């Protein structure tokens, strides 16, 4: 069975994607900082029959934790897919750049960019060995558009997009997709803009976009999940 590592998998998009892959028979290594929430997610995912699930709570900025994630995947057979979904906002709620704590910006860059690259470096050998090795970097429209208060988070996601683009050039044997999932009803968005009570789509509604990438394996690049779901 193919094996995927998914960070930030205890809830939201990470959990929804894990559920979908498990339903397709994937074995999974799941990461999140909160052990209890991750355990609940792993139990739900494991209920999909023969799926093997390794749930490892920890912080992706910790090199030792990243090594444990890849070691667990090797124990399941290798790494066919790496999904960097764990994210930090930099400030909760979001604030204008004039007020953004520099320590918060450093945290966003460390989680969203540095840790993502560190995990790719750790997993690169088994990804290269896979017949269908792929990396998905979960991006944001804030990486490409200038939205007030989203500057720090958006800058970190723009950096992640560029890392994904360069990785695709340097590793032509892999598929490397940066994916903007669009607006979703997640805890991350609620923490970012708590006063926004407009209804947002559930994360599960964009999962078909990720599955389409895995099924059709288009060229490496940046993709918008809503367009993929609509067949564009």
Question: Pick the catalytic residue: 147, 153, 189, 223?
Answer: 153
Question: Which H/E stretch holds residue 148?
Answer: none
Active site residue 189: no
3-state percent helix, strand, coil for the chain, nearest multiple of 5: 50, 15, 35
* Closest among 222, 68, 77 to 140, alpha carbons compared: 222
* Closest among 187, 140, 178 to 16, alpha carbons compared: 187
Sign of CA dihedral 197, 178, 23, 127: negative
- Rounded Cα gap, residues 228 and 113, in angstroms: 24
- Rounded Cα gap, residues 104 and 48, in angstroms: 38
Point out the residues that are catalytic.
Answer: 153
């Amino acid at each position: 069975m193919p094996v995927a590592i998914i960070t930030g998998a205890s809830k939201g998009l990470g959990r929804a994607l894990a559920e979908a892959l498990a339903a397709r028979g994937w074995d999974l290594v799941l990461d999140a900082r909160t052990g209890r929430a991750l355990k609940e997610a792993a139990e739900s995912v494991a209920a999909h029959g023969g799926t093997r699930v390794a749930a490892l709570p920890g912080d992706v900025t910790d090199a030792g934790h990243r090594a444990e994630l890849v070691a667990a995947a090797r124990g399941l057979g290798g790494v066919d897919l790496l999904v960097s979904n764990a994210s930090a906002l930099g400030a909760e709620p979001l604030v204008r750049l004039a007020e953004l704590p520099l320590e918060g910006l450093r945290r966003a860059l460390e989680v969203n960019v540095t840790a993502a690259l560190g995990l790719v470096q750790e997993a690169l050998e088994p990804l290269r060995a896979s017949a269908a090795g792929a990396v998905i970097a979960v991006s944001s429209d804030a990486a490409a558009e200038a939205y007030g208060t989203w500057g720090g988070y958006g800058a970190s996601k723009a950096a992640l997009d560029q890392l994904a683009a360069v990785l695709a050039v340097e590793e032509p044997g892999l598929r490397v997709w940066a994916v903007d999932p669009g607006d979703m009803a997640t805890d991350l968005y609620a923490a970012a803009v708590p006063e926004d009570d407009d209804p947002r789509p559930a994360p599960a509604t964009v999962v078909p976009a990720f599955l389409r990438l895995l099924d059709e394996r288009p060229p490496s690049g940046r993709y918008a999940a809503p367009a993929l779901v609509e067949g564009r």
